[in-house]
């Protein structure tokens, strides 16, 4: 299986230990901005699908936002949904095809702004789907406007003096909110800011797909991510911003875990 490659000292034999998913991820370059977390999560989802051997049984629902073209990259059955409605579309798919693995992939503008009602009611009904929630604190696709998740004081194109909490309210912590609903089975917040975070996120996604078989409720994985373009930062600066400013408000870790 693994390719062999040799360094200058020919006695050291190397074997392949990591390569991009070859089956579930199409071999085409991502359209995302340099350093954007969307690409990492796309790859991880498809790695998990490939490793669990469920490519044929997986159906994804793509959102509106930068990841609107998720189906260009994910080699599984996919359906596009209207802005914010991914979890409603996924509900329909899962109810007609209850043995398929169904997931939605949504940004914070999609899942926590225009799609708030769909999100809350989907989880409240305990639909047996996985919802992947990419929280980059901003509307990336449309030019970096303020999202419900934007940090207090954060400058965006629609909050040029920083988010004024007294006027627009405090950031909406959707993940904590839906964790209180009885239909939520597994709720966790992860990140992609360093290699260990990526390893943990992959574990969370794997568990979520496995839990779907049990038909016990909704699995919800928030990913604290970045939007270097919308934040007007270099990718490296955006990683520092996640660590310094996002984590105090959006701490990573499990919020609701199934009782064994």
The binder of other proteins chosen from 97, 170, 236, 257 (CB under 8 A): 236
Output 185 or 231, the one with its CB closest to ligand TPP.
231
The SS3 call for residue 5 is strand
Q: What secondary structure does DSSP assign to 163-194, as a single string?
A: --HHHH-SPP-HHHHHHTSTTEEEEEEEE-SS
Instruction: Tell me the longest C-alpha to C-alpha distance in the chain.
Output: 67
Site for ligand TPP in 34-53 (CB under 6 A): none
Q: In a 10 Å sphere around its CB, with 0-12 CB exposed, 13-18 middle and 19+ buried, how is residue 201 labelled?
A: buried
- Indicate the residue among 38 and 163 with the shorter CB distance to ligand SF4: 38
30 binds, among ligand TPP, other proteins, ligand SF4, none (CB under 5 to 8 A by kind): other proteins
Identify the CA nearest to 215 among candidates 164, 166, 258, 169: 258
Cα distances (Å, whole numbers) of residue 221 to 103, 119, 130, 209: 11, 13, 8, 11
**Interface mask toward other proteins for 198-227; x: CB under 8 A:** xx----------------------------
Query: Other C-beta atoms within 10 Å of 101: how many?
Result: 24
Which residues here bind ligand SF4, judged by CB under 6 A? 32-33, 36, 38, 66, 136, 140-141, 227-230
Residue 21 found at the interface with ligand TPP (CB under 6 A): no
Residue 107 contacts ligand TPP per CB under 6 A: yes
Radius of gyration of the chain (CA): 19
- Restricting to residues 108-137, which ones interact with ligand TPP according to CB under 6 A? 108-110, 114, 134, 136
Binding partner selected for residue 83 from ligand TPP, ligand SF4, other proteins, none, CB under the kind-specific 5 to 8 Å limit: ligand TPP
Using CB under 8 A, which of 72, 157, 235, 249 touches other proteins?
235
Torsion (CA) 113, 114, 118, 119 in degrees, nearest 10: -20
Where along the sequence are the contacts to ligand TPP (CB under 6 A)? 64-67, 83, 107-110, 114, 134, 136, 138-142, 147, 227
Interface residues with other proteins (CB under 8 A) are 3, 5, 7-9, 12-21, 25, 29-30, 32-40, 43, 192, 194-195, 198-199, 228, 234-236, 239
């Amino acid at each position: 299986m693994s390719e062999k490659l040799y360094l200058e000292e020919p006695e050291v034999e190397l074997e392949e230990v990591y390569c991009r998913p070859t089956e579930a991820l199409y071999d085409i370059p991502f359209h995302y901005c340099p350093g954007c977390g969307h690409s990492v999560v796309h790859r991880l989802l498809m790695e998990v699908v490939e490793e669990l051997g469920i490519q044929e049984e997986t159906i994804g629902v793509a959102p509106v936002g930068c990841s609107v073209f998720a189906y260009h990259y994910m080699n599984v059955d996919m359906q596009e949904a209207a802005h914010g409605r991914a979890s409603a579309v996924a509900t329909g798919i899962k109810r007609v095809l209850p043995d398929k693995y169904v997931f939605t992939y949504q940004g914070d503008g999609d899942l926590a702004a225009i799609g708030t009602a769909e999100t809350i009611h989907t989880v409240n009904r305990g639909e047996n789907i996985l919802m992947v929630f990419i929280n980059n604190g901003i509307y990336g696709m449309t030019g970096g406007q303020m999202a419900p998740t934007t940090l207090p004081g954060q400058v965006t194109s629609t909050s040029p003096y920083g988010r004024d909490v007294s006027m627009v309210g405090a950031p909406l912590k959707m993940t904590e909110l839906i964790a209180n609903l009885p239909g939520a089975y597994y709720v966790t917040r992860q990140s992609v800011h360093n290699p260990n975070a990526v390893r943990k996120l992959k574990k969370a996604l794997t568990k979520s797909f496995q839990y779907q078989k049990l038909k016990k409720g909704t699995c919800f994985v928030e990913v604290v991510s970045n939007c270097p373009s919308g934040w007007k930062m270099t990718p490296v600066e955006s990683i520092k911003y996640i660590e310094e400013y996002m984590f105090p408000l959006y701490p990573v870790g499990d919020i609701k875990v199934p009782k064994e």
